[in-house]
Chain A
């Protein structure tokens, strides 16, 4: 079974530029999560989708971050404009409906200069 796929693995941008991350969850998993993990910290939930609807986006900085999950499968997380403090690993995870068990991708490491 294929795991959660994320791209790009690494991205370096200047502050005020924009960036987008892509995630393809495990086939059949209804729930998709985006987490931000800053160096030395645990993952922080940014947004949770169930199918293509948003379940929780309370910790998403909506002035600069946006996410969508078209057709309830792939998802894209965008940051525009980026700030220095956005430097982190962005982890995508998926889980079967009502399971709560998360399967993570390898993450996308963002460096903002």
Chain B
């Protein structure tokens, strides 16, 4: 069973600050995904990374996949209240069997 550990579990920051959240595992993944989930809704896919060392940018969000494909980070620049939510990473082998971490709950205060 692949175990994904996310840190920190909770993060509360002021609008305009930068932050990084992490997703770590002892397993190698063929792909790793990041999702954001808001209360009362299902998770929404933000990005998929597949190549070790890969960096993807989505506006103010930067995603990095570790060289060994075991870990990933999500960096948010100049956080806004609209970034508030639960950030989940999910990893799988051969694009199957996607398993999720417990998530980082981010609150951005105006």
Q: What residues of B have a CB within 8 angstroms of the CB of A103 in the complex?
A: 45
Considering only CB atoms, which chain B residue lies closest to A43 in the complex?
Answer: B100
Q: Which residues of B contact A105 (CB under 8 A)?
A: 42
Given the known interface contacts A42-B101, A100-B33, A106-B40, the answer about A48 and B96 at a Cβ–Cβ threshold of 8 Å is: yes
Most buried by B among A33, A42, A102: A42
Assess the A102–B48 pair: CB atoms within 8 A: no
- CB pair B48–A42 under 8 Å, yes or no, is no
Residue ID in chain A nearest B88 by CB atoms: A42
Q: Tell whether B43 is near chain A: CB-to-CB under 8 Å.
A: yes
Interface presence of A54 (CB below 8 A): no
Is A34 in contact with chain B by the CB < 8 A criterion? no
Name the distance in Å between A86's Cβ and chain B's nearest Cβ: 19
- B103: chain A residues at CB < 8 Å are 41-42
Interface size class of A (residues with CB under 8 A): 20 to 34
The interface residues of chain B, by DSSP majority, are classed as strand
Contact, CB under 8 Å: A102 / B41: no
Measured between alpha carbons, how far is A33 from B98 in the docked complex, in Å? 9
| Contact call A55/B96, Cβ cutoff below 8 A | yes
1/0 contact string of B1-25 vs chain A (CB within 8 Å): 0001010000000000000000000
Give the distance in Å from the alpha carbon of A67 to the alpha carbon of B5 in the complex.
29
Give the contacting residue for A42; candidates B44, B92, B102; CB below 8 A: B102
- A41, A91, A98: the one within 8 Å of B42 (CB): A91
Give Cα A106 to B88, complex, Å.
Answer: 16
A contact residues around B99 at 8 Å (CB): 45
With beta carbons under 8 angstroms apart, the residue of A44, A106, A107 that contacts B100 is A44
Q: Which of A35, A43, A100 has the most CB of B within 10 A?
A: A100
Q: Given contact pairs A42-B100, A45-B97, enumerate 8 new A-B contacts (beta carbons under 8 Å).
A: A33-B98, A41-B103, A42-B4, A42-B103, A100-B98, A101-B45, A104-B42, A106-B41
